[in-house]
Amino acid sequence: MSEIPGQLKFTRDHEWVREHDDGTVEVGITDHAQTALGDLVFIELPDTGGSFTAHDACCVVESVKAASDVYCPLAGTIVNTNEILIEKPELVNDDPYGEGWLFRLRPDLPGELEGLLDDKNYERLLAEDNE
Partner 1 sequence: MQHTPLYQAHVDLGARMVDFGGWSMPISYGSQISEHHTVRRGAGVFDVSHMTILDFKGTEVGSFLRRVLANDVSKLQSEGQALYSCMLREDGGILDDLIVYWFGGERFRIISNAATCTKDLAWFREVASGTAVEIDQRKDLAMLAVQGPRAREIVAKSILHSKKCLALGPFFSTQIGNYMLARTGYTGEDGFEVILPAKNVCGFWEALLKHGVVPCGLGSRDTLRLEAGLNLYGADMDESVSPLRCGLKWTVALGEERDFIGRQALYHELKAGLKDKQVGLILNGKGVLRAGYSVRTVFGSGTLTSGSYSPTLGCSIAFARVPVQSERACEVEIRGRWHDARIVKPPFVRHGKIEVDMLQGETA
The contact pattern for partner 1, residues 35-64, with x = CB under 8 A and - = no contact, is: xx-xx-xx-x---------------x-x-x
Binding residues for partner 1, rule CB under 8 A, total 15
Q: How far apart, in whole angstroms, are the C-alpha atoms of residue 85 and residue 81?
A: 9
Residue of the chain from 48, 53, 67, 120 that contacts partner 1 (CB under 8 A): 67
Q: Which residues, other chains included, contact 111 with Cβ-Cβ below 8 Å and sequence gap of 6+?
A: none
CA atoms within 13 A on the CB side of 110: 3
Tell me if 109 contacts partner 1 by CB under 8 A: no
Least distance CB 28 / partner 1 (angstroms) = 19
Residue of the chain from 53, 83, 84, 86 that contacts partner 1 (CB under 8 A): 86
DSSP 11: -
Residue of the chain from 48, 65, 98, 124 that contacts partner 1 (CB under 8 A): 65
Least distance CB 42 / partner 1 (angstroms) = 5
- Where helices occur in 1-131 by DSSP H, the ranges are 31-37, 84-87, 91-94, 119-130
Least distance CB 39 / partner 1 (angstroms) = 5
Q: How far apart, in whole angstroms, are the C-alpha atoms of residue 16 and residue 30?
A: 6
